[in-house]
Amino acid sequence: MSLDMDYPAEQTIQEAYIALGSNIGDRAGLLQQAIEMIHAHEGIQVLKVSHMYETDPVGYVDQPAFLNMVISVSTCLSPILLLRSLLKLELQLGRIRKQRWGPRTIDLDLLLYDNVIMDQEELMLPHPRMMDRPFVLVPLHDVIADSHLLQEQVASLSQAALQSGKEGITLWKTINWHSESGHFAS
């Protein structure tokens, strides 16, 4: 008897949050394509999509500005299998890892998976640097469930980042996602 390795034995549905970023090529188009590919995955359904924000690069700053957003999804995949699916999608969208924090066509980071706390070599949850990254917190605030344990902290840090005006985050585009159809509205 063979087991499908993409799905856990117990198919419970969990909510997860994924950060998306791009600063090479058609940034907006790549983000939208990534969201559609995630939604098309058999074990993942996109629930909410944040606004798109243009952000200054962090770490290695001699590169173009990023477009960043966050999506909430429901999934029957385990956290590790969800991460591996995201990494495969990055490759399909032309991601080449040359330089840490360097330019990229697409970056997909698993931020939160329900209220799971995990510290493994392959994956740490919550994402270890997300609370220090306004370019993640601001779009995460757009989509995080009111009932999530980190919602108040995300809201507070997001608000502080926007009020400071020092974080290089600008609303770039409002996104309308229709989860029933899995497509963007015009």
- Please report the pLDDT score of residue 64 as a whole number: 87
pLDDT at 186 over 60: no
Q: Stretch 14-34: mean pLDDT, rounded?
A: 94
Active site includes 146? no
Annotated active-site residue in 27, 95, 133, 142? 95
Q: What is the pLDDT of residues 82-109, one digit of tens each?
A: 999 999 999 888 877 676 666 888 999 9
Q: Stretch 16-21: mean pLDDT, rounded?
A: 97
- The secondary structure of the chain as a DSSP string is ----TTS-SS---EEEEEEEEE-SSSHHHHHHHHHHHHHHSTTEEEEEEPPEEEE---SS-SSPPEEEEEEEEEESS-HHHHHHHHHHHHHHTT----STT---S-EEEEEEETT--EE-SS-EES-TTGGG-HHHHHHHHHH--TTSTTHHHHHHHHHHHHHH--S-EEEEE---EETTTTEE--
Q: Stretch 61-79: mean pLDDT, rounded?
A: 91
Annotated active-site residue in 109, 129, 142, 146? 109
CATH assignment, 14-184: 3.30.70.560
Could you give the angle at which helices 134-143 and 151-164 cross, rounded to 10 degrees? 130
**Average pLDDT over the chain, rounded to an integer:** 86
Active site includes 95? yes
165-175: string of b/e by CB count within 10 Å (b at 16+)? Answer: eebbbeebeeb
- Give the model's confidence band at 2: pLDDT under 50 very low, under 70 low, under 90 confident, else very high: very low
Annotated active-site residue in 4, 26, 62, 104? 104
Cα 60 from chain centroid (whole Å): 20
Active site includes 119? no
- Give the model's confidence band at 5: pLDDT under 50 very low, under 70 low, under 90 confident, else very high: very low
Q: What count of Cα atoms within 13 Å lies in the side-chain half-sphere of residue 104?
A: 25
Q: What is the pLDDT of residues 118-169, one digit of tens each?
A: 999 999 999 999 999 999 999 999 999 999 999 999 999 999 988 887 677 8
